[in-house]
Structure 1
Amino acid sequence: MNFHPQLASAATEAARVAAGVSPDQLTGPTPCPDYDTRALANHLVAYTGIGMELRARREPHPDDLATRDFTSDPQWAARYAEQLDRSVAAWADPAAWEGEVSSMPAEAMAGMLFLELTLHGWDLARATGQEYELDAETAALLRTVVAEQAELYRQYKGFAEPVPPPAGASAVETAVALSGRDPYWAA
């Protein structure tokens, strides 16, 4: 299944959230206990910006990708938005969705990247006091992918134990809760 429109939508929201991060917020806490806001932003840029394009093109990640401080550039958010455009364009090629990427079916890799974009996009929004908005189709896909992958991700410590979703939870709130995040987390 090719879900490029939802990948593009999630990338647009991640770019919007990144643009709303001020330099003084980079040392603040996030819903990810292992990351402050700077580390979370750098992770997002590395894996959903640069990494997402490289995965579509079947190219290896540079050795230093995970250790770069992208936020040291005052224009990091604008550069991230530009990189996301290139990444989304790379996944627009139907060939990107075929075969395998790093020993995973291409669709599974795209799903993992989609979760990185959406869940860490949500984390960054919460850490910086921003709203996080996805269109209905993208939010529904997020809820579906999290529900399908949650147990596997928990085995590899990518998700915490689920949190009960609040009554009347939206698709995004439900996905966040199923991934082990508190939908009402606030800095």
Structure 2
Amino acid sequence: MNDMTHAHMKEAAREAARTARGATGSPLNTPTPCGAWDLRALLNHWVLYTAHGLEHRALRTAVPEELAARDFAAEPDWAEAYAAQLDRAVAAWQAPGAWEGDIDLGGSAMQATAIASMVVKEMVLHGWDIATATGHHYDCSPELAGFVLGVVEEYAEIYREYDGFAAAAPVPENATALERALALSGRDTRAAAGASPA
């Protein structure tokens, strides 16, 4: 098992669950820092890929089609259900075999370690999007932030090719690793500076 990446995954999942609970009750049409996606669209993407998708990748099983059409954000207990699903996903990656070989993405394949790293990145960046949109503070250790920055640096241009990232945003010289990762992925942390911590 890749112990370091799994440790980052566990931390990101804990903060994702906390962020989800903080977002409950927020209007689902709230704009987010994530392009044209409102809170409903972003929450549904986040829940699908960082919890259900994460578990299915570890198990090498396809994500059921009905999950892709499910409006998780409309369910009254979505945050608690998401937290429970995150626990299952993280537990699935405790199996040493989950980290071995490639994962079929439907027409292409990628190393399991790379997939896990990219999902952790999604968990953190979209977690920050949701916390910012709902007026909350996003917590991230320097170690996790540095890991996410490394993933963003490695894959930013590929994401941009498929419109997954916007153009890199300006970032001050004294920016933290998380701020640099956010800026490199196209998020303007200066515009979100007015969000009130909670």
Report the TM range for the smaller structure's normalisation. Answer: over 0.9
Partner of 2:65: 63
CA distance in 2, matches of 1:118, 1:137: 13
Shift, 1:85, TM fit: 0.5
Q: By how many angstroms is 1:6 displaced? A: 0.3
Question: Which residue in 2 is equivalent to 1:14?
Answer: 16
The reply to whether residue 104 of structure 1 matches residue 106 of structure 2 is no
* Partner of residue 37, structure 2: 35
Name 2:154's counterpart in structure 1: 148
Q: Is the 8 A contact 2:24 2:79 kept in 1?
A: no
Match of 1:114 among 110, 120, 127: 120
Q: How far apart in 2 are the matches of 1:22 and 1:185? A: 23
1:164 aligns with 2:166: no
Deviation at 1:114, TM superposition (A): 1.2
Deviation, 1:33, is 2.0
Gaps of 5+ in 1: none
Runs of 4+ in 1 over 3 A off after TM superposition: none
Equivalent of residue 7 in structure 2, options 5, 8, 11: 5
TM alignment of 1:56-95, pairs within 5 A: 56-95=58-97
How many angstroms apart in 1 are the aligned matches of 2:24 and 2:103? 35
Looking at structure 2, the residues matched to 117 and 41 of structure 1 have their Cα atoms a distance apart, in angstroms, of 11
Amino acid in the other structure paired with 2:58: A
Aligned residue for 1:132? 138
1:53–1:87 contact (8 Å) kept in structure 2? yes
* Deviation readout 1:136-183 (Å, 9 max, x if unpaired): 211110111111111111111111111121231111100000001111
- Measured on the aligned residues, the alpha-carbon RMSD in Å equals 1.4
Contact map agreement 2:26 2:134 (CA 8 A) in 1: no
Asked if the contact 1:126/1:185 (under 8 Å) is kept, the reply is: no
C-alpha distance in 2, partners of 1:58/1:39? 26
Long gaps (5+) in structure 2: none
Q: Say which SS state the counterpart of residue 20 (structure 1) adopts.
A: helix
Contact residue 30 and residue 133 of structure 2 kept, 8 A: yes
Q: How many residues align?
A: 187
Secondary structure in structure 2 of the residue aligned to 1:120: helix
Q: CA deviation at 1:128?
A: 0.6
Tell me the distance in 2 between the aligned counterparts of 1:33 and 1:177: 13
Matched, 1:184 2:177: no
